[in-house]
A and B are shown apart, each in its own frame.
Chain A
Amino acid sequence: NAGVTQTPKFRVLKTGQSMTLLCAQDMNHEYMYWYRQDPGMGLRLIHYSVGEGTTAKGEVPDGYNVSRLKKQNFLLGLESAAPSQTSVYFCASRMTGNGQPQHFGDGTRLSIL
């Protein structure tokens, strides 16, 4: 099973450039999430979605936008990349229902020069 797939796995950008990170899940999960993880720290929630066509802000949403046009895909966009956005980005998804765990992709390592 593919589970949660993130593309690309690595990317280097220059300050001011834009890009989109793609998350795809094949488990028919309603909920999807985008996190960032900085060295030595836990994950911080950027944005999340509780279903197709809906998105909401997490703990650290500034500088990012998201879209959930299809249930299986959740896109994270950086309109004007900044060095502070250098991080590892993780996507997760989960089923509806109390207590359902989140399942994660392998991450995208993004460097902003």
Chain B
Amino acid sequence: DAKTTQPPSMDCAEGRAANLPCNHSTISGNEYVYWYRQIHSQGPQYIIHGLKNNETNEMASLIITEDRKSSTLILPHATLRDTAVYYCIVMDSNYQLIWGAGTKLIIKP
């Protein structure tokens, strides 16, 4: 079973920041949180990952709570091309990604 919980869908206005939440209350101390997105039926695209500290790259920022039980992916200036399904994933002890159903993010003009 997926180790994460995400809302099934979210809307965001174009140009605004999109904040996607994820709960992972059973995460272990050495497990990373990964974010991917999938546009239409293309291959999943890696966005960002983190362990304890907040992370930022050219695509997004990842905010992880101090207890590590939840995280938020932030797309700072959403565009129409950011419309996709976003997956929050915790890697299991066998280094396997266990995928849930993700959040369908719709960016509206």
Contacts and interface: CB of A to CB of B under 8 A. Distances in A.
Interface of A: 4, 31, 33, 35, 40-45, 48, 58-59, 88, 90, 92, 98-99, 101-107, 109
27 contacts: A4-B43, A31-B95, A35-B99, A40-B101, A41-B101, A42-B2, A42-B87, A42-B101, A43-B44, A44-B99, A45-B96, A45-B97, A48-B96, A58-B96, A59-B96, A90-B43, A98-B32, A99-B32, A99-B49, A99-B51, A101-B49, A102-B46, A104-B44, A104-B46, A106-B42, A106-B43, A109-B41
B30 interface: yes
Contacts of A40: 101
A90 B101 contact: no
A6 to B, nearest CB: 8
Contacts of B97: 43, 45, 102
Contacts of B43: 4, 90, 104-107
Contacts of B100: 42
B45 A104 contact: yes
Contacts of B34: 101
A14 B43 CA distance: 25
Contacts of B42: 106-107
Contacts of B45: 104
Contacts of A31: 95
A92 B34 CA distance: 14
B79 to A, nearest CB: 22
A107 B32 contact: no
